[in-house]
Structure 1
Amino acid sequence: MGKSIALSLIRKYLSGSCTASEAATVEHWFDLMDAVPDHISGLTDEERVLMETKIFERILRNIEAESHQKPIFIPEKSSYSWKVLAVAASLFLCLSMALLWMQYSSSFSPEKSFKSSQSASILPGGNKAVLTLDDGSSLVLTDANLGKVADQYDMSVVKTAEGELSYKKRKGENPSEMVYNTITTPVGGKYSVILPDGSKVWLNAKSSLRFPTSFTGAERNVQMTGEVYFEVVKNPKQPFKVRSGGTEISVLGTHFNVMAYDDEADQKTTLLEGRIHLSSGNFSKLLKPGQQASVNPSSAIKVSDNTDLEAVMAWRNDLFIFKDMEIKEIARQLSRWYDIRVVFKGTPSKVSYTGTIAKDVALSEMLSMLQFTGLKYELNDHVLTIIE
């Protein structure tokens, strides 16, 4: 039927009232499009955006079919209306739609932007960590067998079948002073630990946690770097305190996430459940669930309400979730997960990206979709150059 179609049929399709035959007709027409044609007039702005969305979905499905890859579906709890994540088994990424079509039609060039196939060999991160014991010796947990990996006085350190670390009380010598262990994840690593008090901790890539092998004092004190999510066992008689740089977080029992990477402008603490008290310098705040505190050395603590908890917890759920995120912030996340260095040739774009991406994809699959949106880049060894 060429590139002509009745406006009434398009509207019927967008409203979901088409018959199966009519829907097939419209979807076939979508397959012939790479944007909403200029000759389609009479659509409202909302209808035009929805139509662009549907065309974009068809493009992604066609690419997926050609590459014989399996789509991934966004969980039902997701707020996204687009359900299919396509291209190379896991990726769904879009620009603000008007910018997407403008870039796609004017500057997309596979031959120029994809200079190397090296990305195919760069795999995503996984369960990787090193445990440093009190005597300074280290254990590579990635290579350790399941079961007991070490004894720390009256505690056995165990690698569980779930691939996490656990501390279990045993008969042994009680140390005369506090004994500390440190777990460290490399770039491209993650790991989880059940602390001696039963609290559970997840470490994102390039993070560390220093903790005692037994919480015997008036407080349960730990120190962290990078990004760590805590589910703290409640104990009013023994507050749990997290120190990161110049910030201290005090809790009795709660769930919260702390992001404190050196290459991020602010340290961000997000509360999911319970209450936490946060202090930094001369400032302090009491957080309620759903709030996020941002700490910057040059300013007071800023508290945001109604935080997007799904986006904050994406890493814990093995996802990248980008919501109106600029390429510089995306680049920092990619560098930590894929163990690459990202540099910019020119001024980084201010275009915002939105999308949900599984973290178990190879770098090649991630870059394929970024390339599709019009982003130009080169990859040499483990250096990704983004060309603006």
Structure 2
Amino acid sequence: METATTAQTAHDRRHMARALELADYGRFSADPNPRVGCVLVRDGREVAAGLHWQAGAAHAEVNALAAAGVAARGATAYVTLEPCSHHGRTPPCVAELIRAGVARVVIAMQDPNPRVCGGGIAALRDAGVEVITGVLEEAARALNPGFVQRMEHGRPWVRVKLAASLDGRTAMASGESKWITGPAARRDVQLWRARAGAILTGSGTVVADDPRLTVRLKPGELAAQAGFPDLPQIHDLPPRQPLRVILDARLRTPPGAQILQTGTVWILTGPEMAQTPAADALRGRGAEVRPVPLADTGAEGGLDLAAVLQELGRAEINELHVESGPGLAGALARGGWVDEWLIYQAPLLLGSNARPLVEWPLARMDERAELEIIESRWVGDTLRLRAHPRS
């Protein structure tokens, strides 16, 4: 059996890189499914390609096979995720690959979904198809951090977005914060909102800022800003608004809040508050008021953040985009729930009386939280930093 260490590795990596590029075009639409791309290669030449556009639609392999027709027979399929072997929203892709006569399948990563996990690979090999795995696996995992996290740990990938001054302040002492960053940075935030399954905030932010937390760009505009090619399938996609989630143990969200005027909104509160007239008033405005357990200690609003994240995992939220004040950001950080920091640092100073980036009182240097910067780039006059906690 050929492995990824043979002489064909460079050839396989090149075609898998193309499949990963295709998969990324589903960044704003495939959710809650993973982003997947497929390339069919015969005699060293790409004969067809496909990707998964949205849940309920054909998978990447099926789209590529349809485009290839008879040219798929004897070809190699490069797939960024193990082909599915079960009936979900669509029939299994493994059966389609076998039926089409594909001779070889190169897979970037095994599917972490327990319903698939190794089953697709085994079915292909049982049918006499040569299978190679692990080609550009790290890149494939990075393409779907939320899907992998949800399947392996039952909760979303938590990305906390903050806008700060050079001195690490997010708002004046009065709470005034509009606007710290410029138009280019605010437009860039739209890309991160659009790729998320849900946007999380606290009731304090809703009361103080009255945000909408919506995606304001159409699919074609998002694709153009992300640098994708102008594909007709993108323009055919319906606009998608992520679920908005408010942590509000005391139900302080005003029934007239702007966030309640568009799309689906969950308000997570304590079990007792979920049965009050205040909860009924919010339900009357279209919000879904859901009870979650209270925390033993004073987390944001007193809610159990582990229970919140498990609830969102059950709702098939892959990536959770957090836009909040320093209280919720600090609570998530203290609990070890932040997987990625997305910080926009603007060229201004707000002074020592302004509000901090996170509320996280630390007394000693050995308590510090160390981060690894994985990306830094300029967005207009604002420096955008992405960082992961060091393990």
Taking structure 2 as the reference length, the TM-score comes to 0.27
**Bigger CA radius of gyration:** 1
Which structure is higher in strand share?
Answer: 1
